[in-house]
Amino acid sequence: PQYGQPVPSHAQQAPGGEVNLTKSRPVSLVKGQKVTLRKDGGVALTFLRMGLGWDPVKKSGLFGNRSANIDLDASAVLFAGQNIVDVAYYGQLTSKDGSIQHQGDNLTGEGDGDDEVVLVDLTRIPPHVDTVMFIVTSYRGHTFEQVQNAFCRLVDGTTNDELARYTLQGGMPFTGMVMAKVYRQGSEWKLQAIGEGMQAKHPGEAAPQLGRFLAT
């Protein structure tokens, strides 16, 4: 597929295009795919760690390889129905209800692993909040054509086990990206990989464009 890796054979396919989380190995999600936030044995996840990462594309030049100074920012946007009620981002690291905690801004994307981390305590999200959307925006206006290996990953915040990962294959001429969302469906929480682009250099520019990603 153009965005995201194929689902490996170990991922248990569930009805409705969903995959089940397994403790043995993380699930590699494809665009649009969903997982119910339950661990093996049906235990609901309560504390999530959403890691987002990327690498600047290296360019060959007269003085060797160099990478653009790309500042991508991860944000978590909280919705009640169609309305944005709060956001955790570099300008407000903790949501007002305390359920979402952004771990701070990474200005370059250099280094391995997660570049920015958002902690989500599902038990503290107020009942009227039904969606948390994870977006990435490019502060200096670089597009995702200048970024490689962009991903988001779901980690069990209690055990630190990686449960699912969604990787973008890059090359899109957008300054913003909706990576994934966590949303209520009945009494359960689900995660859906989205991977859709938009033009937004900061969360304020992204906000009016997010409504179309609420439909499941």
* SS3 track for the chain: CCCECCCCCCCEEEHHHEEECCCCCCEEEECCCEEECECHHHCECCEEEEEEEEEECEEEECCEEEECCCCEEEEEEEEECCEEEEEEECCECECCCCCEEECCCCCCCCCCCCCEEEEEEHHHCCCCCCEEEEEEEECCCCCHHHEEEEEEEEEECCCCCEEEEEECCCCCCCCEEEEEEEEEECCEEEEEEEEEEECCCCHHHHHHHCHHHCCC
**pTM of the predicted structure, to 2 decimals:** 0.85
Residue-wise pLDDT tens digits, 168-179: 876 789 999 999
pLDDT > 90: percent of the chain: 50
The Cα 154–Cα 52 span in angstroms is 9
Average pLDDT over the chain, rounded to whole? 83
Whether 197 contacts 144, CB under 8 Å? yes
Q: Determine the pLDDT at residue 109.
A: 45
Average pLDDT, integer, range 26-44: 87
The Cα 199–Cα 211 span in angstroms is 14
CA of 151: how far to CAs of 31, 99, 125, in Å?
A: 12, 23, 24
* Predicted confidence (pLDDT) at residue 16 exceeds the cutoff of 70: no
Residue-wise pLDDT tens digits, 114-130: 888 999 999 999 999 99
* Predicted confidence (pLDDT) at residue 133 exceeds the cutoff of 70: yes
The Cα 149–Cα 168 span in angstroms is 7
* Predicted confidence (pLDDT) at residue 99 exceeds the cutoff of 70: yes
Which pLDDT band holds residue 1 (cuts at 50, 70, 90)? very low
* Predicted confidence (pLDDT) at residue 80 exceeds the cutoff of 60: yes
Q: Determine the pLDDT at residue 17.
A: 67
Give me the domains of the chain, ranges plus CATH numbers. Answer: 25-213 (2.60.60.30)
Which pLDDT band holds residue 19 (cuts at 50, 70, 90)? confident
Q: Determine the pLDDT at residue 78.
A: 97
Whether 139 contacts 32, CB under 8 Å? no
Q: Determine the pLDDT at residue 50.
A: 93
